[in-house]
Amino acid sequence: MSSDGWWQDAIFYQIYPRSFYDSNGDGEGDLRGVTDNLAYVRDLGVDAVWMSPFYKSPNKDGGYDVSDPRDVDPRHGNLSDAKELFGRAKELGLKIIIDIIPNHFSSEHVWFKAALAAPKGSLERSRFHFHDGKDSKTPPNNWISLFGGSAWTQVEDGQWYLHLFDTSQPDLNWENTQVQADFEKTLRFWLDLGVDGFRIDVAHGLAKENLLQDHFDPQGLSNALRLDVEMDSAERSALLASVPFFDRDGVHDVYRSWRKVFDSYDRDIMAVAEAWVHPPERAIRYVRSDELNQVFNFDLLVSQFDDVELFDCIERTLKLMSGTQASPTWALSNHDTPRLVTRVGAEQARALALFTFGLPGSCYVYQGQELGLPDADLADADRQDPAFIRSKGAQKGRDGARVPLPWAGDVTPFGFTFGKPWLPIPQEWAELTIENQSKNEHSSLMLYHDVISLRKSSLSGTTDFAWTATPNGSGVISFRRGTVEIALNTSDKPVRLKTSGRVLVSSSEPNLVVADEVEIAPRACIWLELSNSAEK
């Protein structure tokens, strides 16, 4: 069918259901809470919602450990709540995509329980990666889990199973046709209920190579895969190029068959891959015309607030994607990384948001990013991330970025729940509630409203893009799209820009405008409407 490519320049809002809104007072967000508050998301001006997992799960990894991919976890509601949510999204004109997690199941999934009960070499075990160890006490190879510790766990009869993440997340064997068929069934199940697409978790992980061989530097490799470990970039690159379990050619067979499923529907279905690949050029393999529609670009998610770094990342991404049918994607935060404000600072976070909303392609906003929430400083006793638990505290984990949203009122938990929230919401967030920010025209929330609506009115339908300032030592980079120029000052000094343009929006007030100059505040971004003479 012909495609309107609704996702090409869409803004997606990522909902982490556990922390969005709790309607029943059990301290965890639920689908009803999302449905009842979806108008807040629509009012932001976004086009689509990405729902992080809400499937049946023992919740050892924030729901990314799925024990039944075709049912809703009772903590989040039930299937009719899901249907209501999809219906409400439609009513509000929002597209909805959901997470799908094909790399692993939860150890509570019936298949894994059956595998444990079945003998070595059985069909039940062949759906996962069960192998004999090198000897009775040594796993088949030396791979390290991304959450720390061995990537293998031994079962009663002495065999070992592979889990790239937590022990409770056994990796699936994608050479097994039952695994392939089961996922196609899951795709159809949710598509039949009305979703518009999928965010594919660990999309680069499904095919494994050299499963029975040691890696030459397992600890180095594990560090290279962790964003919180600093490493010389050449060393990191060399290690990342040697990963035997990510980005193997076999993953693409899976997405070719999924594309056929998507195309069998008479509406436009999209899928975006979470694929951390190296070198970055490999990413475009996921968006070949018979595969997926988008691949996440994680460069911005880890870059410093630095003109050279930002310019390089944007330029590389635009060039890479220009040779494909896919549009670029831009994400400044998600549920796996420190919150933007904590990573770069509050003013910088506002400036970066403005800058990226001007770029061609689609933007992903993680819930709470629009409020300028920082990471919460949690006590270790509150932390639940398996990365924290498995690494015995060496990795603090991602809980700080997953604290529930502060909605209203002066006292924590700020209307998120009438019970006890699953993670404490800092009392210092009183200023940051949605209620407060909605009343304050200078708030981060209002800035997002303004810039998203400007993007719609001034940039939709504009396909051109041209740099107007590249890094030159001043800290300023800028580009033009149609009649709009967008400039970012990453330096700590105000910078004057020659322009006849009129300021449309600015991340930091006020901007001094004199004659044909505008002054951009330190660490700020502005959008300018160019007068006719300045166009071209």
- Residues at the contact surface with ligand BGC, assessed by CB under 6 A: 61-62, 64, 101, 165, 201-202, 274, 335-336
The DSSP code sequence of 378-402 is --GGG---HHHHHTTTSS--SGGG-
Q: Which of 13, 14, 36, 33 lies closest to 413 in space, CA to CA? A: 33
Rounded least distance, CB 292 to ligand BGC, Å? 16
Rounded least distance, CB 461 to ligand BGC, Å? 33
Closer residue to ligand BGC in complex, CB, 283/445 = 283
Closer residue to ligand BGC in complex, CB, 73/274 = 274
Helix (H, G, I), strand (E, B) or coil at 452: helix
Closer residue to ligand BGC in complex, CB, 52/437 = 52
Cα–Cα dist 67/55, whole Å: 8
What are 158's two structure tokens? Answer: 């002495």
Rounded least distance, CB 386 to ligand BGC, Å? 7
Indicate which residue of 61, 274, 385, 485 is catalytic. Answer: 274
Cα–Cα dist 101/54, whole Å: 11
Cα–Cα dist 124/121, whole Å: 8
Please calculate the CA angle 358-292-260 and round it to the nearest 5 degrees. 145
Helix (H, G, I), strand (E, B) or coil at 170: coil
Rounded least distance, CB 57 to ligand BGC, Å? 11
Rounded least distance, CB 189 to ligand BGC, Å? 20
Exposed e or buried b for every residue in 450-466, given b needs 16+ CB within 10 A?
Answer: bbbebbeebbeeeeebe
Indicate which residue of 9, 99, 171, 201 is catalytic. Answer: 201
Cα–Cα dist 109/71, whole Å: 12
Cα–Cα dist 157/141, whole Å: 18
Closer residue to ligand BGC in complex, CB, 174/357 = 174
H/E stretch holding 476? strand 476-481
User: Which residue blocks in 127-211 are alpha helix, DSSP H?
Assistant: 177-192
Cα–Cα dist 26/29, whole Å: 8
Closer residue to ligand BGC in complex, CB, 55/414 = 55
Instruction: Indicate if 201 belongs to the active site.
Output: yes
Rounded least distance, CB 62 to ligand BGC, Å? 6
Instruction: Indicate if 274 belongs to the active site.
Output: yes
Chain position carrying tokens 């930091």: 508
Cα–Cα dist 270/528, whole Å: 33
Cα–Cα dist 297/331, whole Å: 7
Rounded least distance, CB 503 to ligand BGC, Å? 38
Closer residue to ligand BGC in complex, CB, 146/344 = 146
Closer residue to ligand BGC in complex, CB, 146/353 = 146
Q: Which of 155, 137, 144, 133 lies closest to 212 in space, CA to CA? A: 133
Q: Which residue is nearest to ligand BGC (CB)?
A: 64
Q: Which residues are catalytic?
A: 201, 274
